[in-house]
Amino acid sequence: MSLYEKTAHELHELLQSKKISAVELTENVFDRIDEKENLIGAFLEITKKQALESAKKVDEKISRGEKISALEGIPCAIKDNICTKGIKTTCASKILENFVPPYDATVITKLKKENPIFIGKVNLDEFAMGGSTENSAYKITKNPYDVERVPGGSSGGSAAAVASGESIFALGSDTGGSIRQPASFCGVVGLKPTYGRVSRYGLVAYASSLDQIGPVTRDVTDCATVLNAIAGHDEMDSTSTNATVPDFTKSLIADVKNLKIGLPKEYFVKGIDAEVEKSVKDAAKVFESLGAEISEISLPHTEFAISTYYLIAPAEAATNLERYDGVSYGARVDGADVVEMMTNTRTEKFGEEVKRRIIIGNYALSAGYYDAYYLKALKVRTLIQKDFTDAFKNVDVILAPTAPTAAFKIGEMISDPLKMYLQDVCTVPLNLAGLPGISVPCGFTKNNLPIGFQLIGKALDEETILKAAFTYEQSQNFGGQVAK
C-alpha cells in the first residue's frame, strides 16, 4: 500500500516510529498529484516548495527525539474560500483571481499549531454556491470513482483530493450540505460541526447564519482528530460558541448498545434513488445488529426546507457579496463612472450561479416582498429547528441519506438549477437548525459509485455521532478507501 492511501493516524504512527520521513510522505503525495491531477482537477493552487520545506522541519524535530502532534507532517489541502496568508484565496471566482489574503483564517492558525503539511488550495463551486463543483470559474473537478461524474459540491475539490489520494485530509465548508454531499459522492467521511463550534473568521462568507468549516477525511478517526485541531471559541467570530471542547478522539468507542436512532420518514420519500435507500436502510440494520434501537420518527417540516434555505441563503449572500464592487480589493473592470465600473466588474467577474443567487436574495429582501418571502422563511426555519428539538426528546441520533442519489454525470443538472437545488433536500435542514452531521460511506451502487449516510446529532453533541459513525465503520470495510 502506498503512503498516500493510508489514513492520517496510520501515517502518524509511521512518522513517530521513524519508519517513514515527512519528506518521503510529502513527496509520495505530490507524486500522486502528478499522476492524478490532470484527470481529477482538484487543485487551484499547489504549494510544493513550502510543503517540502515544512516536511524537512518535521523530520528534524523527529530526529531530535521530540514527540509530534497527531497531524504533524501529514499533508492536507484547504478549500479555496478559507483565507491563507500569502497564498491566493480565489473562492473559484474571477472577481478574486489575484486576491492574496494578508492574514490566516482562525482554522489555519489553529492547524498551524498542529503543524500539518499544507500542500495547496482546492477547487469549489464559486463562492461555495453549488452542489457539483461545476460552477468554478477555473475548472470542473471530476469524481475519482468515475471521471464523467461530479464529485459533489461545493467542497468537491476537498472530497476529490482525499478520495483520490492527492491529500490525506482536507478542510471544507458546509452551508447547505457542501461537506457532507461531496463526502458521500466520493466515498469519504465529512463532518459539519454544530454552528459556532468552529470559527468562521477568515472563511469568505456565503450565508453567515449557515456556514460552517469542517473536516473531510478517509475515516472517522481522522475526522475526530482534525475536529480537535480546529474547534473552539474565537473572539474574532461573534457567532463562535464559547462551549467546552472535548477530546473528540475519546468518543471513538465501538459501542452503540441501547443508542436510540431515529429514521425520519420524510427522508425516504419518492425521488430517492432505490440503491441509496437500500444502502441506508441496510446501515440501519447493521446498527440494530450492534445493539442500537431503531425507530421511525417524523420531521414534518422537512418538505419546506429547500424553499426556506433558498430564500435565506441567497438573501445573506446578496448582502455578503455587496463588498465585491471593484473598489477596495478584488478585480476591477473600468467604466465611464463609478456606477458603470461596479456594474461592469460584477457583470464580467461573477459567474451565472452567483448572479442568480444575488438576484434571488435581493428580490427576497426588497420592499414589498420582505414579509412575504424572507420573514416567512425565518419563521419556517424556526419550525424546522423545533422538529429536531422534538425528535431528540425520543432519540439520541438521526440516521438519513446524505444525498438522494449517488454522483450524477457532469452536465446532467447544470442547466436546470431547480433540479440541482433539490439535491440538497437531505442536507439543508441541519444547516437551518445549526446541528452537527457526519456523512459516512455505507456502500456502492451497481456502477461502483459511493453511497453515504448521515448521522445527525443534537447541538454540540459531535461526540455521539462520532461514536456511532466509528462503531459502524469498524464493523464494515469502507473506512480509509482510496479510489484507484
Residue 159, H or E segment: helix 156-164
Nearest to 451 by CA among 280, 218, 284: 280
Helices first, then strands: H and E counts in the chain: 15, 11
Quote the distance between the C-alpha of residue 173 and its chain's center: 4
Nearest to 147 by CA among 369, 409, 413: 409
What residue has cell string 450561479? 353
What residue has cell string 475526530? 224
Q: Indicate if the alpha-carbon torsion angle 117, 119, 123, 128 is positive or negative.
A: positive
Q: How far apart are CA 229 and CA 438, in angstroms?
A: 17
What residue has cell string 513550502? 50
> Bridge-partner residues for 171, per DSSP?
78, 215
Cβ neighbours of residue 54 closer than 8 Å, sequence gap 6 or more: 22, 26, 115, 117, 118
What is the longest distance spanned by two Cα atoms in the chain?
A: 71
Radius of gyration in angstroms for the set of CA atoms belonging to the chain, rounded to a whole number: 21
| Adjacency order of strands within the sheet including 75-79 | 43-46, 117-122, 75-79, 169-173, 213-217, 189-192, 437-444, 450-456, 397-401, 260-264, 293-297
- Report helix, strand or coil for 184: helix
Which triple of cell numbers denotes residue 142? 471530476
What residue has cell string 470495510? 477
- For residues 432 and 456, is the Cβ–Cβ distance under 8 A? no
What residue has cell string 523527529? 62
Query: Which amino acids are annotated catalytic?
Result: 79, 154, 178
Q: How far apart are CA 321 and CA 326, in angstroms?
A: 12
